[in-house]
């Protein structure tokens, strides 16, 4: 009888212990990565670029060799910073350049050829680009943000890698845009009565960056936020255009320009802060 009571008490204790653990077992908490993915689902037509370091800038000796091979003067690219690791917080960036039809919703006076509605908006100066992005609840990306979104973290020269490929971006070498030429050079038309050498913003999927952004090498130079030299009033554009040679399509290339300048090679895309 004593043994029965002893074993009964032990059985009851084990039962209560099993019951307690089954009732109070909590599901595992999501990992920081899972939590970030859940809370930072990218807005429509934007991609998330996670925070962290990346290699920004260029190797001056590599630039010299590329410039000589391309028949260009190395000093043309002397404003590019030497390669270094730069930390950038998480941000969103537009998948596509801002197109004509989209921009016209903001500025009804914006004109473009009737067949170019899905091409990037041209003749947009820095202030207009900045105003459009703010109107959309966004902002222009900084140079560092733009460059990271274009080249990734390992310092690739182009969005797709280190070797130039004319079929992955709209450049002087791709022959994807206008056929109008003077000798071997394309005519820089206004885009209002003649087709410029741009292509639709959704083109060249095979050349998109590892984050999924299209046409970050070629099509149009893109305005970025920040100054190159505020005293001289110089801002920057990135990415090269439909008229640019391969060396100018590198992610580290800078084009210095006055903010009021408009061109049929100049466009933009927007960025946005990540809010936790």
For the segment 151-173, what is each residue's pLDDT rounded down to a tens digit? 999 999 999 999 999 999 999 88
Residue 114: strand, helix, or coil: coil
Q: How does pLDDT run across 140-152, given as a tens digit for each residue? A: 999 999 999 999 9
Where residue 25 falls among pLDDT bands split at 50, 70, 90? very low
105 burial via Cβ count (<10 Å: 0-12, 13-18, 19+)? exposed
The C-alpha atoms of residue 150 and residue 152 are separated, in whole angstroms, by 6
| CATH 3.40.50.20 describes domain 43-273 | no
- Higher-pLDDT residue of 265 and 69 is 265
- Higher-pLDDT residue of 16 and 143 is 143
CA angle at residue 169 from 80 to 176, to 5 degrees?
A: 130
Where residue 14 falls among pLDDT bands split at 50, 70, 90? low
Q: Are 112 and 122 in contact (CB under 8 A)?
A: yes
The H or E element that residue 53 is part of is: strand 52-56
Q: Where are the domains of the chain?
A: 43-273
Question: Does residue 225 register a pLDDT over 70?
Answer: yes
Residue 145: strand, helix, or coil: helix
Q: How much of the chain, in percent, has pLDDT values that exceed 70?
A: 78
Q: Give the per-residue pLDDT at 61.
A: 87
Q: Give the per-residue pLDDT at 196.
A: 55
Where residue 189 falls among pLDDT bands split at 50, 70, 90? very low
Q: Give the per-residue pLDDT at 161.
A: 95
Average pLDDT estimate for 6-34: 47
Sequence-distant (≥ 6) Cβ neighbours of residue 255 within 8 angstroms: 221, 236, 237, 238, 248
- Higher-pLDDT residue of 61 and 139 is 139
Residue 91: strand, helix, or coil: strand
Question: Does residue 19 register a pLDDT over 70?
Answer: no
Q: How does pLDDT run across 110-140, given as a tens digit for each residue? A: 999 889 999 999 999 999 999 999 999 999 9
């Amino acid at each position: 009888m004593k043994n029965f009571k002893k074993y009964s008490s032990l059985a009851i204790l084990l039962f209560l212990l099993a019951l307690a653990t089954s009732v109070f077992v909590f599901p595992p908490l999501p990992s920081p990565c899972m939590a970030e993915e859940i809370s930072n689902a990218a807005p429509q037509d934007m991609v998330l670029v996670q925070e962290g370091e990346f290699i920004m800038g260029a190797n001056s000796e590599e630039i010299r060799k590329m410039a000589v091979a391309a028949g260009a003067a190395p000093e043309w690219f002397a404003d590019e910073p030497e390669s270094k690791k730069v930390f950038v917080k998480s941000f969103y960036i537009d998948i596509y350049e801002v197109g004509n039809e989209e921009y016209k919703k903001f500025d009804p006076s914006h004109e473009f050829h009737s067949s170019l509605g899905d091409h990037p908006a041209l003749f947009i100066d820095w202030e207009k680009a900045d105003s459009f992005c703010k109107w959309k609840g966004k902002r222009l990306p900084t140079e560092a943000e733009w460059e990271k979104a274009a080249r990734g973290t390992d310092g690739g020269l182009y969005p797709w890698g280190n070797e130039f490929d004319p079929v992955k971006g709209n450049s002087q070498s791709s022959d994807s845009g206008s056929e109008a030429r003077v000798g071997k050079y394309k005519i820089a038309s206004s885009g209002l009565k003649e087709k410029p050498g741009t292509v639709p913003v959704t083109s060249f999927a095979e050349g998109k960056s590892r984050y999924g952004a299209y046409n970050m090498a070629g099509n149009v130079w893109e305005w970025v936020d920040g100054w190159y030299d505020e005293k001289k009033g110089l801002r920057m554009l990135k990415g090269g255009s439909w008229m640019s040679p391969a060396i100018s399509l590198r992610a580290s290339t800078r084009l210095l320009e006055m903010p009021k300048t408009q061109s049929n090679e100049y466009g933009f895309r927007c960025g946005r802060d990540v809010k936790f």
